[in-house]
Structure 1
Amino acid sequence: MMHCPHLTPDNQCEVACQLAGCRVQTTPTACNACQNNDNPCAINVVTIGMALVNKKRRKQDVTELEALLRNYMPDEDPMPATLKMSSYRPGPGNELKKMIAWFAKPSETCNCETRVDTMNDWGAEGCRRNIDTIVDWLLEEAHARGLPHGRFTATVARSLVNTAIRKYERKFPEGAPEPDQDDPEDEFDR
């Protein structure tokens, strides 16, 4: 992480925390973007975006933050197209989502994003304890999309979940981060 007067020892961005009214973890990528902003280490597109994403994840009103963000965005595009918490939060769910993204995109009717968040909340051990539920979710989505969903597919799904858990653990060997910790590999969707 960079040196910033608003960065706590446990990687909380105090600026984003104040805007969101809750704890907001940051990442080296977010810190670099903030440092390179015209208004570094202060209220800017990066800190507002982190606050906005955290409030959305908590299903809180974001009207004020969206209006504030519009004021800080360049004139050509007043608002990002999407602000997804999955872009800011590591976990086994995000790892699984990345692994299957090439053939299974979330649809308007699926519970994919909620399930990704649930897996991230559970962490590695929780996902291991709930692997049957996760496999059932994958089979349910496969069935809904007209994809194979039998015993062989269940075996493949279980393998994918275990691989996602291991990938997550390799990236975060110290253990599961707090629920609002950012994923250093993901960035703002725009």
Structure 2
Amino acid sequence: MIHCPHLTQDNACEVAGQMAGCKVRTTPSACNACQANDNPRAINLVTIGMALVNKKRRKQDTRELESLLRNYLPERDEPETIKIDRFRPGPGNELKRMLAWFAKPSETCNCETRVDTMNDWGAEGCRRNIDTIVDWLLEEAQLRGLPHGRFTARIARGLVNTAIRKFEQKFPEGPSEPNDDLEDTVDR
């Protein structure tokens, strides 16, 4: 992570958190993107996007943030669709990123469903179900005409373990849940 006065010790972005009304955890790539923005360490496309994702995950009204986001987007002739409600941190998304350079989801694959399932399982669930995940990868490799033997199974197992570790490094306490609000500051 970079040094930022708005980054807490538990990797939460105070700028995005204030807009979302809850604790918003961040990642090194989000911090780097924020830093590279024209308005770094402040309200910008990155921090608005993180706040918007958290509000959507909590099923809260996002109209105000969407309006704010439109003001920060460059003028375009055609409207742009931003897919942010589909992102949910988890081992499935980490594995998807690792495989993205050579294997894109197709219309006939179950990739997105399996990514969601892995994200639901979390790190420990993926470890318990690693044989199933490896079978999914081998099945998809076979359907695409890629190698799918014992050697490939070892590589697939290594990729899954790496995805789990990457997720755990980014979110040592797990991803925030929709109701993972900042602690009350009211004296009791």
Scaled to the shorter chain, the TM-score interval is 0.5 to 0.7
CA drift at 1:128 = 1.6
Q: How many residue pairs are counted as aligned between the two chains?
A: 176
Distance 2:141 2:59 in 1: 28
Mapped pair 1:129 → 2:125: no
Distance 1:114 1:125 in 2: 18
Distance 1:28 1:147 in 2: 33
Distance 2:21 2:13 in 1: 12
Question: Which structure is larger by alpha-carbon Rg, 1 or 2?
Answer: 2
The AA in structure 1 aligned to 2:160 is A
Distance 2:152 2:69 in 1: 43
**Consecutive unaligned residues in structure 2, runs of 5 or more:** 178-188
Show the counterpart of 1:160: 156
Distance 1:169 1:25 in 2: 18
Contact 1:11 1:27 in 2 (8 A): yes
Q: What are the Cα deviations for residues 2-26 of structure 1, in whole angstroms up to 9, with x where unaligned?
A: 4433322111012212323333111
1:37-186 correspondence to structure 2 within 5 Å: 37-57=37-57, 61-76=61-76, 79=80, 81-83=82-84, 86=87, 89=89, 91-108=90-107, 110-138=109-137, 146-147=143-144, 156-157=152-153, 159-166=155-162, 168-169=164-165, 176-180=172-176
Show the counterpart of 1:34: 34
Contact 1:13 1:25 in 2 (8 A): yes
TM-score by length of 2: 0.65
Contact 1:7 1:14 in 2 (8 A): yes
TM-score by length of 1: 0.65
CA drift at 1:105 = 1.9
CA drift at 1:127 = 0.9
**Consecutive unaligned residues in structure 1, runs of 5 or more:** 182-190
Distance 1:95 1:142 in 2: 18
CA drift at 1:101 = 2.8
Identity fraction in percent: 65
The AA in structure 2 aligned to 1:106 is P
Q: Residues 3 and 54 (structure 1 numbering): CA distance in 2 closer, same or farther, change over 3 Å? A: same
CA drift at 1:170 = 6.4
